[in-house]
Amino acid sequence: MKRSDVEVIEKNIAYDGYFRVDRYRLRHKLFAGGWGKEVVRELFERGHAVAVLPYDPVRDVVVLVEQFRIGAYAAECDPWLIEIIAGIIDAGETAEAVARREAVEEAGLDIGEMVKVADYLASPGGTSETVTLYCGRVDASDASGIHGLAAEGEDIRVTTLPFKAIAGLLAETRTHNATLLIALQWLMLHRDELRKRWQ
């Protein structure tokens, strides 16, 4: 199947505020042949994002952030999520530039070399958002404190986690976000080669 196997009958904006919701009327080809019936789907539009896992190969630690998330609250999870640094890519910006800016804003960190981990769809059943994920080299010797932009209501706590504690964190029920899970699992697979490359 390919994009041309979808017929968009109508598309309009259902809501346009801080985020946007588009409503599609469409149909698509079926695996068994022919065309399916017309369906209506709403799509949450928030743009595309970038995330970076800061890793210090000398101290063998990652830098994580913790902040309040309305989605976790609405899902009746602990609303203060442990995450990696992330931000939305605005028009004209590159993913790498946004990752570097967000690292300064959210954690007071300067990112050195970055290795691309993946590009993935955040939740393709309801949003077009993609996430470009990196692992970035940092000096975590001073990684701590409270950061974020007060004008945006950010209140972000920075912590470090030794590599040897990652498996335990992944086993906890508090690791609810996919970006963190993907990044830490990737690091578990690639840590040795990164340490050779970055030492």
Q: Mind listing the domains of the chain with CATH numbers? A: 3-45 (no CATH), 48-198 (3.90.79.10)
> pTM of the prediction?
0.89
- Please identify which of the residues 152, 154, 172, 193 carries the catalytic annotation: 152
SS3 for 29-83 is: ECCCCCECCCEEEEEEECCEEEEEEEEECCCCEEEEEEEECHHHHHCCCCCEEEE
pLDDT digit string, tens, across residues 94-148: 999 999 999 999 999 999 999 999 999 999 999 999 999 999 999 999 999 999 8
Could you give the C-alpha distances from 85 to 20, 27, 99, in angstroms and in order?
Answer: 24, 38, 8
154 labelled catalytic: no
Report the range of poorest mean pLDDT among 3-17, 47-61, 85-99, 141-155.
Answer: 141-155
